[in-house]
């Protein structure tokens, strides 16, 4: 399988006051298309930073990164925004739904950037919501939904624009066991049924077990690889 | 869902705060409108002036009189169509707090120099034929419930004695900028009494109003009139009606200036209130803006969201403020001494200024929030916790 | 040792208030600016009205009586003929000076045109011809440079405010009116009263120059044992005098400005009411936002044991501090206005009247009270909301 994400000698340094903090230290890594990858490590290990760089919402200080055949580090902000909307689907720990919009409208949001007509958007939205199993709650507001349902709406939003890569930052971090299970099953489906590549940051070993590949980071360094097929 | 719907929904997110902001803005727009109305009312005389009319008065102050004998000399100047004359009568009607102009005039020429005072030919004829007749502007007639045939009793002060006039006509103004409150009676009636009671005050008029054929000649004709009477006992000053009225406005210039400054300060206050709200609101949405950016929305979109929200709030506030302006202005007018401002309208310019200020304020208030939203990196925004 | 915080109502976390203040510098700064502006306008309007009041009520003393023609609108339109003037001057209730002469001045008042300093063109100035005892009767007037004019000569003394506003006003210069040149020989200070906007000269010279016959008004010092009501009754009952009326000099001049003062007061009060509502709303918005953003902290404080009342007072105090900072800035700005004076046409006398902005204790009190009310009302509801939050809801 070809790599959809190729990282070589990636370093990220932060300047805080007079100190230089190396968040990522010369990371090299390949992620195959259709893989389900977990990034694990203690807090401060740099896993979230790595995820952010892969997703195109942060830039490396040095090194090379190719995602979906694009050298994303050399894109301008505007080009990056366009690229993101086409290739990346985000799933956050705190769902980050817009409270004044219904589930339907939240899912529709990324589609507003596309040239699709209203009815075309509708079919995409309904499809996405059905995939996550919330077809009957389309017109509910986030506060009317449980945590697990909100996360599913967030996943539907990520699905709606049909990206190749899903980026999830602690997707089950705020959920109870049952809801967490539902979400992980959903991610599994996206991966197995729809062939989507998933990169997930988590510190929950139970969630990591659902992934095929796990990478460990510690203090900015990439440790040995664990695979499970 | 459309962009507009999204902006609108977001605008009312924090209902209490948005309502407070809208109320705050509408109140400030109200205050602004009231002040501007006062300022425009003060200059109403200027607005109602005609470029074809000149006013000739005593050079030192209009409170000093000019000889009646000047009339024919003035009329002989080429370019002059009509010469009319007036005396400020004042006097006490009912009590000292009833303000409307009470003026002695020449009925033959009154309507020729002031065609905007409209009177039926019937009433005109009656007015002209009776020595002690008078006519009233329709607003004064309404205010005091005076009808044709009623007698008006006035206690003279400048011209002492008890005076009686019979109302023979009620005039209507041609436009709402014209003074509809004045009372006119015969100059001859006044002069007769002067001849018998105060002979050394007879044959004097207060000011001349001259209708000229060509407005462009106003400066030259004014000069010629004044030259006629230079170095005489009563020197004249002639100018266009607009300049004459402007002189009155200018004399209270300081107070008007103060009021103008206040109205601009008010706009500043509106700006601050809205800025405050927008900054707070945008700050709370920091994380959300970051999420939108992750979804692919760009700076242009964020600009639209924030500015759109600010404009919605400022425009609703302006609309509410302007619609409450009408009753407030009426209320204010009723508390002022009656007849103080003969014309007290909300001018179109006031509406326009208030409206454009609201737009401007909406845009300016968005600057800081937009700047912040654009310059916050996505990762920092996602980490934001209020 | 265990501290029982729950008992102490007054454990208001002041340092907490201070820290929060600093944390939200921009929005707090905006709120303070808004309140400062409102207080400034409020104070300025009050100062304008007070300034007019001061000028006109200090023009004139309670010990003096002015005689004018009945129903004349001002001194300019009043006429008193010589015979009547002579008659009045013999009345017993007029105080006498040390030589036995009545402390009475027969004034002839008129208007002239003069060019203003700021290039604003010509403006009307009042010229007052007075009698020899005038300065004794109007004893607030002092000659601060030069000398009093000589009776019988065409000389003038000039009010200080005129020297400041009109061009060519200096000792030794002349002013031309009524076909003659009048020499300025002195400048007078009249304690910021209306007389400071006047030119004074010999009444008989003025009357001669303008080809007049009559005086305008009479002013005299009333003797201690007489009162104004008696005087009014006397005038009303005498056929020769019932066309004239006496009035307390101070009240007379106050009435001249009544219209203008009334207008400024009405406008001022209207604007102030409108503004204050606006300012309270501004304060409320800020405070509500402050409360909303600090729910976790409030919950923590409550969990630690601080009373509801302490929380309420803490937020209320914060609101009041914000308001008062704005209020003091506003008053400070307004006090700068004291260096400015305004001149406008007084419709009572048809001549220029200068008045300044008076920062009286009244104004300061009023402004501070106003500020306090704004801060209190603006902060009250949000403070109540903060105190009523349940700990659990706040910490969630």
Q: Which domains does chain A have, with CATH numbers?
A: 3-227 (3.40.50.300)
Contact C259, C7 (CB under 8 A): no
- Residue C374 lies inside a defined structural domain of this protein: yes
The reply to whether B208 and B306 lie within a common domain is: no
DSSP B341: S
- Pair C152, C211 in one domain: yes
Whole-prediction pTM value?
Answer: 0.75
Contact A66, A217 (CB under 8 A): no
* Under 8 Å between Cβ of A47 and A40: yes
Residues B64 and B35 in one domain: no
User: Does a structural domain hold residue B245?
Assistant: no
Rg (CA), chain B: 29
Same domain membership, residue C114 and residue C21? no
Please state, in angstroms and rounded to a whole number, the distance separating the CA atoms of residues C48 and A42: 69
Compare CB distances from C270 to B34, B59, B255 and report the shortest one's residue.
B34
* Residue C151 phi, psi dihedral angles, 5° rounding: -70, 140
| Residues whose CB falls within 8 Å of the CB of residue A217, separated by 6 or more in sequence, listed in order | A27, A39, A40, A41, A45, A46, A47, A50, A223
CA distance, residue B124 to nearest chain C CA (Å): 32
Q: Classify residue C97: in a domain, yes or no.
A: yes
Q: What residues make up the domain containing B149?
A: 60-234
The average pLDDT across B16-23 equals 85
C235 in a structural domain: no
In contact, C154 and C209? CB cutoff 8 Å? yes
Residues C148 and C287 grouped into a single domain: no
Nearest to A57 among B1, B288, B294 (CB): B294
Quickly tell me which residue has 């007379």 as its tokens. Answer: C252
The residue of chain B with its CA nearest to that of C259 is B337
State whether B343 and B289 are in the same domain: yes
Say how far apart CA B155 and CA B132 lie, in whole Å.
15
Residue whose C-alpha is closest to residue B271's, from B21, B35, B9:
B21
Three-state secondary structure call for residue C369: helix
Whether the per-residue pLDDT at B247 is higher than 90: the answer is: no
B216 and B68 both lie in a single domain: yes
| Interchain contact C150–B (C-beta under 8 A) | no
Which residues of chain B does C48 touch, with a Cβ-Cβ cutoff of 8 Å? 258
**Higher per-residue pLDDT: C20 or C246:** C246
**Residue C133 and residue C21 share a domain:** no
Q: Using the beta-carbon criterion (under 8 Å), do B295 and A110 form an inter-chain contact?
A: yes
Cα distances (Å, whole numbers) of residue B228 to A14, A226, B211, C113: 89, 113, 18, 20
CA distance B172 to chain A (A): 57
Number of domains within chain B: 2
Chain C residues in contact with B259 (beta carbon < 8 A): 267
Which secondary structure element, helix H or strand E, spans residue A171, and what is its range? none
The tokens describing A56, both together, are: 């195109």
What residues does C221 pair with on adjacent strands? Answer: C64
Q: Name the β-bridge partners of B173.
A: B117
C315 and C281 in a single domain? The answer is: yes
Residues C94 and C184 in one domain: yes
In a domain, B249, yes or no: no
- Per CB-CB distance under 8 Å, the chain C contacts of B31 are 271, 274-275, 278
Asked whether C and A share 3 or more beta-carbon pairs under 8 angstroms, the answer is: no
Tens-place pLDDT, residues A16-37? 778 888 899 999 999 999 999 9
- pLDDT for the residue numbered B386: 53
pLDDT band, residue C3 (cuts 50/70/90): very low
Enumerate residues 6+ apart whose C-beta is below 8 A from B168.
Answer: B123, B126, B127, B130, B133, B134, B135, B148
- Does C11 have pLDDT greater than 60? no
In a domain, B15, yes or no: yes
Residue B121 sits at the chain C interface (C-beta within 8 Å): no
Cβ contacts of B287 on chain A, cutoff 8 Å: 96
What does the block give as tokens for C262? Answer: 């009334």
Same-domain pairing of C80 and C49:
no
Residue where a domain stops, chosen among C173, C199, C221: C221
**Total count of domains within chain C:** 2
Considering the domain architecture, whether residues C79 and C49 belong to the same structural domain is answered as no
Question: How big is the CA angle at C276 (ends C272 and C279), to the nearest 5 degrees?
Answer: 140
Query: Does B224 lie in the same domain as B330?
Result: no
Mutate to test the interface with B, among A81, A114, A138, A154 (most CBs of B within 10 A): A81
Average pLDDT over residues C298-311: 77
Say yes or no for a CB contact (<8 Å) between B296 and A109: no
- Domain shared by B296 and B214, yes or no: no
Indicate the residue of B288, B296, B299 with minimum beta-carbon distance to A85.
Answer: B296
Instruction: Tell me if C129 is assigned to some domain.
Output: yes
Domain shared by B32 and B64, yes or no: no
Mean pLDDT throughout C325-345?
88
Residues B204 and B298 in one domain: no
A199-213 mean pLDDT:
90
**Same-domain pairing of C103 and C191:** yes
Touching subunits of B (3+ CB pairs, under 8 Å) are A, C
pLDDT value at residue B95: 80
User: Span B115-135, mean pLDDT?
Assistant: 93
Q: Is the pLDDT of residue C365 over 60?
A: yes
To the nearest 10 degrees (0 to 180), the angle between helices B253-284 and B348-375 is 30
Please determine, for residue C5, whether its predicted confidence score (pLDDT) is greater than 50. Answer: no
B156 chain-C contacts, CB cut-off 8 A: 71
B115 and B8 share a domain? no
The neighbours of chain C, by the rule of 3 or more Cβ pairs under 8 Å, are B
Provide the percentage of residues in chain B whose pLDDT is more than 70: 99
Tokens, residue B211: 């209708």
CA distance B20 to C291: 15
**Cβ proximity of B10 and A100 under 8 Å:** yes
Instruction: Enumerate the β-bridge partners of residue C108.
Output: C129
> Under an 8 A CB cutoff, do B291 and A113 touch?
no
A94 to chain B, closest Cα gap in Å: 10
Residue numbers in B near C262 (CB within 8 A): 337
Of C221, C247, C276, the domain-final residue: C221
Contacts of C277 (CB under 8 A, 6+ apart): B27
* Confidence check: pLDDT of B380 > 60: yes
Residue of B285, B295, B302, B376 for testing the chain A interface, max A β-carbons within 10 Å? B295
B247: in domain: no
Of the candidates A209, A199, A196, A130, the residue with the CA atom closest to the CA atom of residue A163 = A196
**Rounded-to-integer distance, Cα B32 and Cα B48, Å:** 23
**Integer Cα distance of B345 and C157 in angstroms:** 45
When scoring B162, B276, B281, B325 by the number of chain C Cβ atoms within 10 A, the one with the most, hence best to mutate, is B276
Q: In the structure encoding, which two tokens stand for residue A126, read together? A: 């309904």
Phi and psi at C119, nearest 5°, equal 75, 15
Give a yes or no: residue C1 inside a domain: no
Query: How far is CA C370 from each of CA A76, B198, C325, C374, rounded to the nearest angstrom?
Result: 54, 56, 13, 6
Which residues make Cβ contacts (< 8 Å) with residue B312, sequence separation at least 6? B7, B8, B11
Do the Cβ atoms of C274 and B21 come within 8 Å? Answer: no
State the best of A24, A46, A88, A96 to mutate against chain B, taking most chain B CBs within 10 Å.
A96
Let me know: does A127 contact A203? Beta carbons within 8 Å.
no
Instruction: Verify that B14 and B65 share a domain, yes or no.
Output: no
Same domain, B162 and B261: no
Whether B70 and B32 share a structural domain: no
Which residues 174-213 of chain C have a CB within 8 Å of chain B?
Answer: 211
- B340 within domain boundaries: yes
pLDDT in tens, A45-57: 889 999 999 998 8
Kindly state whether residue C228 falls inside one of the protein's structural domains: no
Residues C27 and C119 in one domain: no
Residue B153 located in a structural domain: yes
Residues ≥6 apart with Cβ < 8 Å to C113:
B59, B60, B61, C122, C123, C124, C125, C177
Please give the residue range of the domain that contains residue C133: 64-221
Question: In this structure, are residues A181 and A7 in contact, taking their beta carbons and an 8 Å threshold?
Answer: no
The predicted-structure confidence for B183-224, as pLDDT tens digits, reads as follows 999 999 999 999 998 888 899 999 999 999 998 999 999 999
Residue C345 and residue C379 in one domain? yes
Of residues C226 and C327, more confidence is placed in: C327
Complex confidence, ipTM: 0.80
Q: Is residue B49 part of a domain?
A: no
Domain match, C37 and C79 both? no
């Amino acid at each position: 399988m070809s790599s959809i994400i190729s990282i070589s000698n990636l370093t990220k340094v932060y300047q805080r006051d007079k100190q230089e903090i190396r968040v990522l230290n010369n990371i090299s890594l390949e992620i195959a298309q259709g893989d389900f990858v977990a990034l694990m490590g203690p807090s401060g290990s740099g896993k979230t930073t790595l995820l952010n760089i892969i997703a195109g919402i942060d830039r490396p200080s040095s090194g090379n990164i190719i995602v979906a055949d694009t050298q994303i580090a050399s894109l301008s902000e505007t080009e990056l925004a366009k690229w993101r909307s086409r290739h990346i689907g985000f799933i956050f720990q705190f769902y980050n739904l817009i409270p004044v919009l219904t589930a339907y409208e939240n899912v529709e949001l990324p589609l507003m950037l596309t040239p699709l007509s209203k009815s075309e958007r509708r079919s995409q939205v309904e499809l996405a919501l059905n995939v996550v199993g919330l077809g009957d709650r389309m017109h509910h507001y986030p506060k009317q939904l449980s945590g697990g349902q909100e996360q599913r709406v967030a996943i539907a939003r990520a699905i709606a624009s049909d990206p190749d890569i899903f980026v999830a930052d602690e997707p089950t971090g705020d959920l109870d066991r049952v809801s967490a299970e539902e979400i992980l099953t959903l991610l599994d489906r996206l991966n197995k049924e729809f062939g989507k590549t998933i990169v997930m940051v988590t510190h929950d070993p139970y969630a990591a077990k659902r992934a095929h590949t796990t990478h460990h980071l510690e203090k900015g360094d990439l440790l040995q690889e664990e695979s499970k097929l | 869902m459309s962009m507009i719907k999204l902006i609108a929904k977001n605008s009312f997110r924090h209902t209490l705060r948005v309502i407070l902001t809208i109320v705050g803005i509408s109140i400030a727009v109200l205050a602004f409108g009231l002040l501007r109305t006062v300022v425009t009312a003060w200059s109403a005389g200027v607005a109602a002036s005609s470029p074809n009319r000149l006013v000739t008065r005593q050079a030192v102050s209009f409170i000093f009189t000019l000889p009646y004998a000047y009339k024919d000399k003035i009329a002989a100047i080429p370019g002059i169509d009509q010469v009319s004359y007036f005396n400020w009568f004042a006097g006490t009607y009912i009590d000292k707090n009833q303000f409307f102009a009470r003026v002695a005039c020449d009925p033959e020429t009154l309507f020729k120099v002031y065609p905007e005072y409209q009177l039926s030919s019937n009433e005109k004829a009656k007015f002209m034929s009776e020595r002690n007749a008078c006519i009233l502007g329709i607003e004064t007639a309404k205010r005091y419930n005076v009808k044709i045939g009623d007698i008006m009793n006035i206690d003279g002060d400048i011209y002492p004695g008890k005076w009686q006039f019979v109302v023979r006509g009620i005039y209507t103004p041609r436009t709402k900028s014209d003074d509809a409150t004045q009372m006119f009676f015969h100059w001859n009636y006044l002069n007769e009494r002067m001849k018998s009671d105060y002979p050394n005050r007879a044959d004097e008029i207060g000011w001349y109003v001259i209708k000229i054929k060509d407005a462009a000649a106003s400066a030259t004709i004014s000069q010629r009139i004044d030259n006629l009477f230079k170095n005489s006992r009563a020197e004249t000053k002639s100018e266009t009606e607009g300049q004459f009225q402007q002189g009155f406005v200018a004399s209270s210039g300081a107070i008007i200036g103060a009021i103008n400054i206040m109205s601009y300060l008010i706009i500043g206050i509106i700006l601050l209130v809205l800025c405050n709200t927008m900054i707070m609101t945008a700050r709370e949405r920091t994380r959300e803006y970051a999420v939108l950016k992750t979804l692919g929305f760009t700076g242009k979109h964020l600009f639209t969201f924030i500015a759109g929200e600010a404009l919605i709030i400022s425009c609703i506030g302006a609309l509410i403020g302007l619609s409450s302006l009408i009753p407030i202005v009426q209320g204010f007018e009723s508390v002022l001494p009656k007849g103080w401002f003969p014309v007290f309208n909300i001018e179109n310019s006031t509406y326009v200024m208030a409206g454009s200020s609201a737009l401007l304020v909406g845009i300016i208030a968005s600057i800081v929030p937009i700047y912040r939203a654009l310059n916050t990196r996505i990762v920092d925004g996602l980490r934001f916790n209020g | 040792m265990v501290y029982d915080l729950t008992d102490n109502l007054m454990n208001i976390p002041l340092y907490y208030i201070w820290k929060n203040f600093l944390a939200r510098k921009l929005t707090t700064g905006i709120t303070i600016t808004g309140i400062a502006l409102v207080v400034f306008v409020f104070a300025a309007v009050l100062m304008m009205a007070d300034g007019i009041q001061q000028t006109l009520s200090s023009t004139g003393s309670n010990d003096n009586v002015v005689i004018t023609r009945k129903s004349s609108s001002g001194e300019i339109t009043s006429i008193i003929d010589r015979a009547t003037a002579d008659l009045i001057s013999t009345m017993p209730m007029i105080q006498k000076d040390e030589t036995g002469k009545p402390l009475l001045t027969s004034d002839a008042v008129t208007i002239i045109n003069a060019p203003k300093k700021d290039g604003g063109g010509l403006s009307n100035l009042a010229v007052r011809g007075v009698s020899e005892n005038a300065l004794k009767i109007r004893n607030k007037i002092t000659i601060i440079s030069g000398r009093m004019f000589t009776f019988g000569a065409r000389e003038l003394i000039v009010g200080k405010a005129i020297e400041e506003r009109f061009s060519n006003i200096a000792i030794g210069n002349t002013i031309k009116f009524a076909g003659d040149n009048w020499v300025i020989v002195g400048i007078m200070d009249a304690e910021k009263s209306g007389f400071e906007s006047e030119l004074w000269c010999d009444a008989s010279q003025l009357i001669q120059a303008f080809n007049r016959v009559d005086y305008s008004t009479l002013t005299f010092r009333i003797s201690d044992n007489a009162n104004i009501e008696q005087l009014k009754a006397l005038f009303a009952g005498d056929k020769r005098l019932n066309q004239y009326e006496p009035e307390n000099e101070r009240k007379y001049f106050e009435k001249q400005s009544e219209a203008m003062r009334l207008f400024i007061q009405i406008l001022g009060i209207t604007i102030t009411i409108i503004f204050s509502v606006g300012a309270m709303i501004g304060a409320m918005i800020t405070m509500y936002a402050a409360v909303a953003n600090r729910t976790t902290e409030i919950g923590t404080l409550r969990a630690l044991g601080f009373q509801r009342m302490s929380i309420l007072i803490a937020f209320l105090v914060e609101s009041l501090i914000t308001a008062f900072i704005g209020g003091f800035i506003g008053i400070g700005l307004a006090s700068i206005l004291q260096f400015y004076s305004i001149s406008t046409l007084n419709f009572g006398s048809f001549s220029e009247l200068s008045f300044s902005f008076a920062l009286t204790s009244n104004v300061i009190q009023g402004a501070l009270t106003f500020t306090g009310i704004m801060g209190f009302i603006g902060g009250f509801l949000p403070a109540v909301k903060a105190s009523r939050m349940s700990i659990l809801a706040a910490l969630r």
